[in-house]
Chain A
Amino acid sequence: MPAAVLEDAAADVGPVEPEEPGPATGPRRVLESPWFGFALRRLFGVVLVLAVLVGLTFCMVQSMPGDPARVAAGNNATPEQITRMRHDLGLDHSVAAQFGHYVGGLLRGDLGTSYTTEEKVSDIIADRLPYTSELALLGILVVLLVGVPLGMAVAVACRDGRRRHLDGGFTLATGIIGSTPEYILGTLLVLVVGIELGWLPVAGAATADALVLPVIAVALGPVCTIARIVRRETAVVLARDYMRAARGRRLPAHRLYLRHALPNLLTGTLTVAGLLLTGLLGGAVVIESVFAWPGVGTRVVEAVTLRDLPVVQGVVLVLGILACLLNLLIDVVLGLLDPRTLTGRAAS
């Protein structure tokens, strides 16, 4: 922030008046708003991600060892069928032409057709993505709403070296749950809550309560990891000078921790946790198989087994865009919490 430094210098060297101007107004305000530069930079970022994703998914077919047409036509195909398949897939054109065709299709919303079921990939995704996003977004919500308060509560309870036992127990418990793969947690939930206790459905998405176990299975591990991060970040924030200043104002506990500490520890936490939340998308894909959840995850696993590339391509592309949007959302939240993060990634 060279401008701020210059202002500082100006204010420090000269006599006290005149000082740096107050906040800008009018159209200048829009241009000078940190959100403007932020939007520009992020727009560039999104375009870059899209380009990388499209390039990578296109390369999937190209880099496949053996003949994609043979794979697509199936094991028992005759040479004529394979030739026809090669033509149908456009594999007899040059790579550049194929790429143009692929991108053109994408722009029209055409993601290709499944080798095995002949369904349009866009239809498959439109069918199944809502289930996966539901699972992932609810999972993220649970992670933030449970993990953050949990970590804060432990940090506040253990501040200045109090309650060592609670601290140790927390570290151990979150460590164990955090290093348990989500599909094992899911299985355990199925076993205990679903079968032994019989409280909740363990498969399918027919009813609303069928969501409970999959969401818990997806969220439990990240909840623990986030809680640990928040616990550490909170300890750091509580030791800051501005927290001492706030304590000096004798604020009630909720105001002290929620208004003064929370936004600051969230910035640190979210910077680290962005990866965790996109990783949760991957967790959702795996967990779907445990609960026979009709999302893109179960479908893509099937497609990988059958090497149904268009379906895999489509899902990889769409989930990639989802992950990218999620990151964007996190950065916007960060910007709202701490405007300093808008002026470049240097802060992170």
Chain B
Amino acid sequence: MTAGLPPRRDRAATRPPRKRLGAMLVIGLAGLGLLVLLAVVAPWIWGDDADRLGPEVHLGSSGEHWLGTDALGRDIFARTLVATRPTLELSALATLIASTVGIALGGLVWVGGPRLRAVGLRVIDVMIAYPAVILALAIAAILDPGPKACVIAIGAAGSPTFARLTANLTASVAGRDFVGSARLLGVGPLRLMRRHILPNIAEPLLVLLSVSYAHTLMALSALSFLGLGVQLPDYDWGQLLAVGLQSLYTNPVEAVGPAVAVVLAGLSASFVGDGLAAAAERSSAPAMKAKASGAAESDPVSAIPDRTAGVPDDAVLVIDGLRVLRADGTALVDGVTFHVGAGEIVGVLGESGSGKTLTAMAVARLLPGGLHATARRAVLRDPGADELDLVASGSESAATRRRLATEIGIVHQDPSASFNPALKLGGQLTETLRVHMGVSRREAARRAVEQLEFVRITDPKARLRQYPHELSGGMRGRAMIASALLPRPRLVIADEPTTALDVVVRAEVLRVLRAANERDGTAMLFISHDVGVVGDLCDRVLVMYAGRLVEELTTADLRAGRAEHPYTLALLAATPHLDDTPSPEDANGDRRLAAIPGHPPRPDERPPGCAFAPRCPAVSPICHATPPPVHAPAPGLSVVCHLPGRRSATEEKPSEATR
């Protein structure tokens, strides 16, 4: 993740709030607490009512007996409350058995060495796949049916889940450094388990414990319901329910009490589990609050002067005053203006978080959720058709979608992640042709083969039938380019296509892009943080900093060091040998940019003046207070700076900068 999309911090804005999950834990704990309280006090308070025989049997709901009476005239509400204790006790006991046996088993599998581990894990897997209720039935049959058999049965049936979790977690913890060093110090496996490993896996085990308690409660009540659990004259909820069900047709209210009780208890326990899991997730990934700030709204689009007047008529892409806004109104890309001429390759250069990728995605109408784009003008031009508005809000018409799909080709950042792993290459390559251009399957395949040959992929016919994971990384990169070129788009947007690649593959990708540009005259917008690559491939370069465009210049000027903006100059100074093929050590362009001390400001903390001022070697007092002006000698050339061309604060301001 060298180039943030969207910048890391801004993902917080699209993350759903976690408050509800915290509430879940509270509700679950409160419910369980109430139940435990009931379990303690209910037999004292309602014990007599629960066993008192009454003259009126099978009563419906009444003021005296809320939930009616059973076959012996006993009050079912009281019986339900009293049954809380045995139900909770038995479930707790079964959960205890499941967790103790499971954790011991899982630990044993790990302690016992690699061979035992392989077999043990396999057996645990088999046991987990076996339905717990049936296993419990088998155990209940061996022992005499009754609460003891059920607790043992449910406990045994639940233990494989604990065993596997323990084994999995232990394996991951055991690989960590501190366990290795403890082992080197001669700490025995049992002590290692108890002192070093168990504490580290306690949290997920706790989650499983509460979820498992809910399951245990349900399974036990199911066994009681089947008549295999608690036997008369004792009773728990499941048994009460089974009895109530016998008079379901005549007096259905008898079943209500125990049914509600089982559901509430199960729900409380699983709420606790879900809540704990959510809390664990929260603490491992601290939520970063998106700071709402209106201060960044300093220059609305209307304040930016219109600079599209001199743009050539054949320009493919014309963007004026593009802004990409977060839901809270913070501008991540702030007033970017540029154009891409016919057949021109324009590079966009900037650090991670400079907004270059967001600019590209806004042009492609592919902004991630929670972000939206505005612009005074953002159009894709086609001599044979209307201009296509790229920032129009509202849903896209079918025609718009077709034009976007066929006129803009996108080369995504990570070719390995950008091919769908479940679909064959052929289907993905030809999809646009088939869906939007009505090309027959056969013809689409023929064109795909032709295009794969063009990007120098061997045996292209067979490749179409392969899955992405069957190709090498370099081939996936070239296939991605082929996919973007297939509909013969007017504009190709390449989002850091070389970032993840080594030198040889990178050179190959650049060659293919250049060849496509020469063959079809395809215009390109090439996003990169690599000064060398941009200088190699592009005709013109846009330099972005903190969401704004700071300089537009020709690659010839860039290579010759004739940049004007202090940021571009600093970039150049940090880049050795621009004309050489970049060496592998230079692969991470960010490191070069890091040679400039300091960091770009967060988008919601941009200073009122020049965003580069805190890092600028040429800074003067005016830079902090006043937004720098745009010097645009010609369409496609501009610099946004108070003191263009100055390399340091002491240097004399060059005279040509006043042009």
Q: Tell whether, in the assembled complex, residue B137 and residue A161 are in contact, meaning their CB atoms are under 8 Å apart.
A: no
Distance (Å) between the CB of B513 and the closest chain A CB?
15
Assembled-state Cα–Cα distance A187/B271 (Å): 24
Q: Tell whether, in the assembled complex, residue A8 and residue B419 are in contact, meaning their CB atoms are under 8 Å apart.
A: no
Distance (Å) between the CB of A197 and the closest chain B CB?
13
- As a 0/1 sequence over residues 129 to 140 of chain B, the CB contacts with chain A under 8 angstroms (1 = contact) are 111111101101
| Chain A residue at minimum C-beta to C-beta distance from B413 | A241
Interface centre among B436, B457, B472, B475 (most CB of A within 10 A): B472
Q: Tell whether, in the assembled complex, residue B225 and residue A286 are in contact, meaning their CB atoms are under 8 Å apart.
A: yes
Q: Tell whether, in the assembled complex, residue A267 and residue B422 are in contact, meaning their CB atoms are under 8 Å apart.
A: yes
Q: Tell whether, in the assembled complex, residue B144 and residue A307 are in contact, meaning their CB atoms are under 8 Å apart.
A: yes
Q: Tell whether, in the assembled complex, residue A20 and residue B472 are in contact, meaning their CB atoms are under 8 Å apart.
A: yes
Q: Tell whether, in the assembled complex, residue A327 and residue B144 are in contact, meaning their CB atoms are under 8 Å apart.
A: no
18 contacts between A and B (CB under 8 A): A12-B474, A13-B504, A23-B470, A45-B122, A49-B129, A60-B141, A63-B142, A160-B368, A160-B370, A176-B263, A180-B263, A241-B414, A249-B431, A289-B226, A303-B141, A308-B141, A323-B130, A327-B129
Contacts of B17 in A (CB 8 A): 164
Q: Tell whether, in the assembled complex, residue A8 and residue B396 are in contact, meaning their CB atoms are under 8 Å apart.
A: no
Which residues of chain A from 12 to 49 have any CB-CB distance to chain B below 8 Å in the complex?
12-13, 15-23, 45, 48-49
Count contacts on A: residues with CB < 8 A to the other chain. Answer: 98
- Cβ-defined partner of A337 (8 Å) among B129, B255, B422, B458: B422
Stretch at the interface among B461-469, B552-560, B650-658: B461-469
Q: Tell whether, in the assembled complex, residue A48 and residue B122 are in contact, meaning their CB atoms are under 8 Å apart.
A: yes
Assembled-state Cα–Cα distance A323/B128 (Å): 11
Stretch at the interface among B244-252, B539-547, B636-644: B244-252
| Chain A residue at minimum C-beta to C-beta distance from B138 | A316
Contacts of A60 in B (CB 8 A): 138, 141-142
| A-B interface contact total, Cβ < 8 Å | 250
Which residues of chain B from 120 to 158 have any CB-CB distance to chain A below 8 Å in the complex?
122-123, 126-135, 137-138, 140-145
Asked if B198 is at the interface of the complex by the 8 Å CB criterion, the answer is: no
Asked if B417 is at the interface of the complex by the 8 Å CB criterion, the answer is: yes
Contacts A60-B142, A242-B417, A248-B364 known; A255 to B435 CB distance under 8 Å? yes
- Cβ-defined partner of A161 (8 Å) among B134, B248, B369, B435: B369
- Cβ-defined partner of A304 (8 Å) among B129, B131, B145: B145
Asked if B227 is at the interface of the complex by the 8 Å CB criterion, the answer is: yes
Which residues of chain B from 382 to 411 have any CB-CB distance to chain A below 8 Å in the complex?
396, 401-402, 404-405, 408, 410
Q: Tell whether, in the assembled complex, residue B20 and residue A168 are in contact, meaning their CB atoms are under 8 Å apart.
A: yes
Q: Tell whether, in the assembled complex, residue A65 and residue B143 are in contact, meaning their CB atoms are under 8 Å apart.
A: yes
Contacts of B130 in A (CB 8 A): 278, 320, 323
Contacts A19-B458, A301-B227 known; A161 to B370 CB distance under 8 Å? yes
* A interface residue numbers (CB < 8 A to B): 4, 7-8, 10-13, 15-23, 45, 48-49, 52, 56-57, 60, 63-65, 159-161, 164, 167-168, 171, 175-176, 178-184, 187-188, 190-191, 195, 240-242, 244-252, 255, 259-260, 263-264, 267, 274-275, 278-283, 285-286, 289-290, 300-301, 303-305, 307-309, 312-313, 315-316, 319-320, 323-324, 327, 337-340
Contacts of A251 in B (CB 8 A): 431, 435
Q: Tell whether, in the assembled complex, residue B462 and residue A190 are in contact, meaning their CB atoms are under 8 Å apart.
A: no
Contacts A52-B126, A301-B228 known; A250 to B133 CB distance under 8 Å? no
Q: Tell whether, in the assembled complex, residue B267 and residue A179 are in contact, meaning their CB atoms are under 8 Å apart.
A: yes
Q: Tell whether, in the assembled complex, residue B267 and residue A176 are in contact, meaning their CB atoms are under 8 Å apart.
A: yes
Asked if B421 is at the interface of the complex by the 8 Å CB criterion, the answer is: yes
Q: Tell whether, in the assembled complex, residue A242 and residue B418 are in contact, meaning their CB atoms are under 8 Å apart.
A: yes
Asked if B440 is at the interface of the complex by the 8 Å CB criterion, the answer is: no
Q: Tell whether, in the assembled complex, residue A304 and residue B141 are in contact, meaning their CB atoms are under 8 Å apart.
A: yes
Q: Tell whether, in the assembled complex, residue B129 and residue A274 are in contact, meaning their CB atoms are under 8 Å apart.
A: yes
Contacts of A324 in B (CB 8 A): 126, 129
Contacts of A338 in B (CB 8 A): 421-422
| Chain B residue at minimum C-beta to C-beta distance from A15 | B504
Closest 10 pairs (CB-CB, A-B): A160-B369, A282-B131, A282-B133, A22-B459, A263-B422, A250-B405, A241-B417, A250-B401, A11-B472, A179-B266
Assembled-state Cα–Cα distance A255/B428 (Å): 12
Contacts A8-B472, A184-B263, A338-B422 known; A249 to B245 CB distance under 8 Å? no
Count contacts on B: residues with CB < 8 A to the other chain. Answer: 93
| Chain A residue at minimum C-beta to C-beta distance from B461 | A22
Q: Tell whether, in the assembled complex, residue B252 and residue A191 are in contact, meaning their CB atoms are under 8 Å apart.
A: yes
Asked if B214 is at the interface of the complex by the 8 Å CB criterion, the answer is: yes
Asked if B450 is at the interface of the complex by the 8 Å CB criterion, the answer is: no
| Chain A residue at minimum C-beta to C-beta distance from B480 | A245
Asked if B608 is at the interface of the complex by the 8 Å CB criterion, the answer is: no
With A22-B459, A285-B137, A339-B469 known, 17 other A-B pairs at CB within 8 A are: A16-B456, A16-B508, A20-B472, A45-B122, A161-B370, A164-B17, A168-B20, A180-B262, A195-B249, A241-B418, A244-B412, A279-B131, A300-B134, A301-B227, A305-B228, A319-B134, A324-B126
Q: Tell whether, in the assembled complex, residue B370 and residue A242 are in contact, meaning their CB atoms are under 8 Å apart.
A: no
Asked if B502 is at the interface of the complex by the 8 Å CB criterion, the answer is: yes
- Cβ-defined partner of A339 (8 Å) among B226, B368, B467: B467
Asked if B14 is at the interface of the complex by the 8 Å CB criterion, the answer is: yes
Distance (Å) between the CB of A180 and the closest chain B CB?
5
Which residues of chain B from 419 to 446 have any CB-CB distance to chain A below 8 Å in the complex?
419-423, 431-432, 435-436
